[in-house]
Structure 1
C-alpha cells in the first residue's frame, strides 16, 4: 500500500514509541490484574493488539491473552461479532478492546456489546489514533495520538512487516 509521503502523520519509529507508551499506561492502570485480555478488532486493530501484547509481556508479569474480534464494518448490526478463539473465558476479566483508529465510535460500540454478555470486570479501549469525531458514547482509555480532522478526512494506519505508518487521506 503506497501513500503520498506528505500525508504521513506518524512514521514507524513514532508508532513504535506510542505503542510502548500505551503498553506502560495499560500496565499502570492494570498492575493488580493477574490476567488481561487484549481484543483486537480484526485487521489492523488486531495487529496493534499483537504489538501491545508483545510490549506488555516485556514490561509486566501480567498474563496477556490475545483474541480477535471479527466485525463486519460495513454492516455491523447485521452480523454478530465473532471472537476468536471462542474458548477464552471472559467472565470477570479485564478487557482492553483495541482498534487502530477511533473515528465515530460506531464499530467500537458494536464490539463492546459483544463483550458485555460475558460479564467482564471492566472494559477499556486502546486506539492508536483518536480523531475525536465520536457520534456514539465511546471514549478511548488509551490513545497513541489525537488528531483534529474534518469529517471528510480519512486516517489509514498500516502495520505491516514492510511498512508501518499512519496517513491522513
Structure 2
C-alpha cells in the first residue's frame, strides 16, 4: 500500500500508541507477576506481540502471549486459543485487536474468555471506530475515529513502516 492522503496514524504515531497502551496495561496490573495478552488473529496478534514486547521493556510483569482464532465471518463457530484455558484461570487478561468496527469479533472473544474465571479482563485496540452493533468498548485504545459506514480502516503493523489508513 502506498502512502496516501488518508493516513490516520503514521509509523511514529503507532509506536507512541503502543507505548502509551502498554503503560496503561502496566498501571492497571501493577501488582501482577504475569498477565495474558490475547491477540485476535491476524492483525490483533501482531499488535499484541508489540504490546507484549513493550510491557517487558517497561515493567517486571511477565506477559504471556495467547493467539485467539475467531472466524470473523462466523464468530459463533468454536474459538481456538494457542494456550489452554487452564493457563489463564484467575489471571489478568487483555484481549487485543487492531480495529474495533462493529464489535462482533471482540464481543465473541469476550464471551469465550468469560467461560473461565479471570482476575481481571480488559480490551485493547489500536483504532476504535464508532459504529458498534454490540455494547462492547475498548478499555485501552490508540485512537477513536468517527467514519462513515462505507469507509474501511486498514492497519499495517509488519515491515519497516507501520501505518493506519482510511479507504
Structure 1 residues 1-169: aligned runs within 5 Å: 2-3=1-2, 5-77=4-76, 79-86=77-84, 89-169=87-167
Gaps of 5+ in 2: none
Displacement after TM superposition at 1:123 (Å): 1.0
TM-score (norm 2): 0.95
Query: Partners of 1:163 and 1:32 in 2: how far apart?
Result: 34
- Write out per-residue CA displacement over residues 102-153 of structure 1, whole angstroms, 9 at most, x where no aligned residue: 1111000111111111111121000000012111111110000111111111
Any conservation in 2 of the 1:36–1:64 contact (CA below 8 Å)?
Answer: yes
Displacement after TM superposition at 1:85 (Å): 2.8
Gaps of 5+ in 1: none
Runs of 4+ more than 3 Å apart: none
Any conservation in 1 of the 2:90–2:117 contact (CA below 8 Å)?
Answer: yes
Segment of structure 1 superposing worse, 136-145 or 116-125: 116-125
Displacement after TM superposition at 1:3 (Å): 4.4
Any conservation in 2 of the 1:3–1:167 contact (CA below 8 Å)?
Answer: no
Query: Partners of 1:4 and 1:62 in 2: how far apart?
Result: 36
How many residues in Structure 1 have an aligned counterpart in Structure 2? 167
Any conservation in 2 of the 1:35–1:65 contact (CA below 8 Å)?
Answer: yes
SS in 2 for 1:163: coil
- Write out per-residue CA displacement over residues 4-24 of structure 1, whole angstroms, 9 at most, x where no aligned residue: 511211111110011001101
